[in-house]
Amino acid sequence: MIAKTMIDYLEEIAPQFIAEDWDNVGIQIGHVEREVKKVLLALDITKEVVDDAIDLQVDMIISHHPLFFSNLKRIDFKSYKGKMIEKLIKNDILVYSAHTNLDSSNDGVNDELARVLDIKNPEILVKTKTNSEEVECDIIELENKRNQYGIGRVGHIEKTNIENLAEKIKKKLKVEDVRVYGDIEKPIKRVAVAGGSGSDFIIDAYKKKADVYITGDIKHHDAQLANEIGIILIDAGHFHTEKIVMNRIKKYLDQKVDSDVEIIIAKNDNIAPYKTI
């Protein structure tokens, strides 16, 4: 199987046209005509992931977060990223990234997060916006297509309290702790989620009448805003609210690819090491 076929399969559920304007999705390193027999799935391209890819002799890495977010002005093989780039090129490993298009996908990050947390009848929290740079005559058709996709999900769960919901999140996402902001006595029936960094959508979750909004990377002023408008925030971490999509992608690709193509989830794909002091 060539890489282009693998990419075509992935873009059936996460087409590039639904990625945000600022994003950098698609091929990061490599060429689409190369043969692929072993693929590594990872949230991030890190030294550990690259080393795993080399050890496993994979032909391709599919990552969620792009290797390159901004224009590359130089490649210094002594730098952290430069060392990774050198290894990837020397070992002929193709890198492809599906980021905000996988977030907005109907089979991506947020649908999987809603499924894992048992959210019933989830609907899109924020619909994907049309790229203003598209040719004008294509805008209406593109808008109709994009209306089928969007960031975040919102729906109902069985009535519960914040403590029970927090425990469920920790269990389902396999995270040791979560941060909760707001009225912890408030009964919970309607829940909004957005994997990764979702603080931009607090108002949207409120407008969708969510009692609680689960996401990552909540800052001080985000918590203040949520408290003012009366919605509870649960910060379950950027990594932990996105990592669950790897299993979904593997299952999907396993059903698509030939039996001699192996799909592997990276074991060393993790948040930066830290400890509380």
pTM listed for this prediction: 0.91
Q: Dihedral of CA 113/115/119/124: which sign?
A: positive
Q: Which strands sit side by side in the sheet containing 212-216, from one edge to the other? A: 120-127, 150-160, 188-197, 212-216, 232-235, 179-181
**E-strand stretches of 94-229:** 94-97, 120-127, 150-160, 179-181, 188-197, 212-216
AA letter at 166:
A
Tokens of 217: 């990377």
Give me the pLDDT at residue 128, please: 85
The verdict on domain 3-98 having CATH code 3.20.20.10 is no
- The enclosing H or E element of 60 equals strand 60-63
Question: pLDDT by residue (tens digit) across 96-125?
Answer: 999 999 999 999 999 999 999 999 999 999
Give me the pLDDT at residue 145, please: 60
Q: Do the domains at 3-98 and 106-235 have one common CATH topology?
A: yes
**Buried/exposed 75-100: b ≥16 CB within 10 Å, e otherwise:** eeeeeebeebbbbbeeeebbbbbbbb
In the DSSP assignment, the letter for residue 23 is -
CATH fold label, 106-235: 3.40.1390
Q: Give CA 31 to chain center in angstroms.
A: 24
Tokens of 84: 């990774």
Give me the pLDDT at residue 135, please: 40
Neighbours of 129 (CB within 10 A): 13
Domain ranges of the chain: 3-98, 106-235
Question: pLDDT by residue (tens digit) across 254-274?
Answer: 999 988 999 999 998 877 766
CA distance 215 to 198: 6
Residues of the chain with pLDDT under 50: 132-137
Q: Which residue in 85, 114, 96, 105 sits closest to 32, CA to CA?
A: 96
Give me the pLDDT at residue 272, please: 72
How do beta strands 188-197 and 150-160 pair?
antiparallel
Give me the pLDDT at residue 132, please: 47
